Structures are given as structure tokens and as C-alpha cells.
Amino acid sequence: MYRRLFLAILPIMGVALAQSPPPPNPLPNRPKVPGTLNLRTRRRIEQPPGSGGKFVVSEGTLRWEAAQTAIVIIDMWDTHTCANAAQRVGAMAPGMNQVVDAARRLGVMIIHAPSDTMKFYEGWPQRLRMQQAPKAPSPFPVRATEPDREEQTRMPPAACDDPVGVTWTGPAPPTTRGNYPWEREHPAIQIAGYDGISDSGQEIYNFLKQEGITNVALMGVHTNICILNRAFGVRSLNRLGFHVVVARDLTDGMYDPRKPPFVSHARGTELIVEHIEADWCPSILGEDLTRIIPGTDGPSQD
């Protein structure tokens, strides 16, 4: 009886299978090519240990293979609720694009992470590339982080430095998740070729593991908020075991000089970078991502 029932439903199963859409074809990812980056790093070391905040600058070098390296561009939105912050992003974006373009041509993976804007990029191949990476096991959940009370006291507070504060009330663009004015990444930063787009820490982690990427250079805004706190930011990637650096000339803090420690905005950003160098990871200059050590990018010509 059961055999006859099974034979009877086989044609129906065949029709259903024929009508179900095929799984999407995986998108090709960047070729992994030879080439070694030479990164000049800066850290701050407490000397002597336990001295209570007396740090000395320690410079060094890291040699990263381009094939194992990614740049993650964090929250370089097209606008912001803080007008001065948006102005500084607009000024920084063209130079950042030059660095990213040069690194891309060397074989470095480029990941664009403009949070809250994924609906704008729906269907883009660079977005699908990140979504298609299989979930990778992680030692703990990949999620955003927060500074502890002690860490908060060692960084300038996050605040908008507009001369007259104005509360943004919307309406939000239809492509934005949440009540925010930003809609996409700043258009001065090009998205091309084998790049990826994601604002999900888990997706980015999946892709990095799939591609054998162990080194991550972070750039973007804001240094004391998203660069540190995002699920794909300094703290999270550091704890997940990646080698992390921050491009100190391609980031900007959210700081108001009317707040302690009452320094210029530029100095406020430097203080945040110095905190990262002391507690979390080295910093570099973006130009080190634009060239490789001569002779490491191909077979010997001898």
C-alpha cells in the first residue's frame, strides 16, 4: 500500500521540484595574488608596566600578505545628523577612495560597511557576495561591543560639534533602517569589482573566514563609536582573533571641543587613536596599503 502511495506521488514531487527556483550561482571572488604589504605601525606601551598611564610610542612593522588582507570601510555615509561630521566625511572620502583603489589593484579585499543602508544595495553583486558566504563557527556571538566604565573615562566623550545643535526629526529615506538621514555610502568612495557590502558582523566574519583573511585594516567613522563598537569594529575583530590595524589618517572622532578635555577636534581624534594604540591595536597610515614590497608580487625574473 505504502509503495503504491509513494509511486503515486512521485510525479507530483517531480513537478514541485521542477518549479522550485534553482539555488543562486555563487559569485566569483577576488583572485588571490602574491604581494606583501609593509605596514609601519604605531603602538603605545605603558612604561614601566603599572605606572598608571605613562605611555611611550613604540613603532614597528607588520608584513601582511595582500591575499590575506581586507579593508573594512565603516559608516562613511553620504550625510549625517551632525553637519560638521558630514562635512569632514565629505573632505576625507576622496583621499580614502584613492587608498582603497590602490589597495584593490594590489589584491586586497575591500568591504564597504555603511550601517543601516543595506536596502539601498539590495541585489548588488557586491551585496550578494557577502550574503552567500556560509555561516562560520565563532568562539562567541559576533555582536557589537560597548566600552566599560574605565575605558569611557580614558576617551573624549562622543558629541556633535555643530555650533547650534539641531535635532534631526526626519522623515528618513525609504532605504534606511531606522530614523536616520543617511541613505548610502558616500558616493566619492567607489564600489567595484570583487568588493563586498555588508553591515552585519556575522556576514563579514563568515566572508573573512571563507576567504582565509586574517588581517583587517579599518578606516571610516566615528573613531570612538563605530570603529571601536561595531560587530566588525576593533574590539570584536580583535577578540575574534584577527590581526587588526586602524588607519589613523582615514578616521574621524565624534568630539565637541566644548567638552572635556577641551582640545581641538583634530586633537580629540588623536586622543581616541592613542587610546586604541594603547589598549587594542596598532595604527598605520593609509599610504602603507597602497604599495607592496618590491619583488613580492610575482615570480622571479631571474
Q: Give the tens place of pLDDT for each residue, 134-165.
A: 999 999 999 999 998 889 888 999 999 999 98
What is the reported pLDDT for 1?
44
All residues at 6 or more sequence positions from 275 whose CB lies less than 8 Å from its CB, including other chains: 151, 154, 155
Q: Count CB neighbours of 13 within 10 A.
A: 10
Q: State the first-to-last Cα distance of the chain, in angstroms, to the nearest integer.
A: 76
pLDDT in tens, 225-244: 999 999 999 999 999 999 99
pTM of the model: 0.90
Name the helix (H) or strand (E) containing 70: strand 69-74
Alpha helices in the chain (DSSP H): 2-19, 83-105, 125-131, 149-153, 201-210, 226-229, 234-239, 265-279
Q: To the nearest 5 percent, what fractions of the chain are helix, strand and coil?
A: 35, 20, 50
What is the reported pLDDT for 25?
72
What is the reported pLDDT for 302?
53
What is the reported pLDDT for 38?
98
Q: Which residues of the chain are modeled with pLDDT < 50? A: 1-23
DSSP letter (8 states) at residue 137: -
Distance of CA 200 to the CA centre of its chain: 10
Closest CA to 161 of 63, 259, 238: 259
According to the CATH classification, is domain 67-143+175-289 in 3.40.50.850? yes
What is the reported pLDDT for 2?
43
pLDDT in tens, 39-52: 999 999 988 887 77
Distances in whole angstroms, Cα of residue 23 to Cα of each of 80, 125, 132, 195, 270: 38, 15, 11, 22, 48
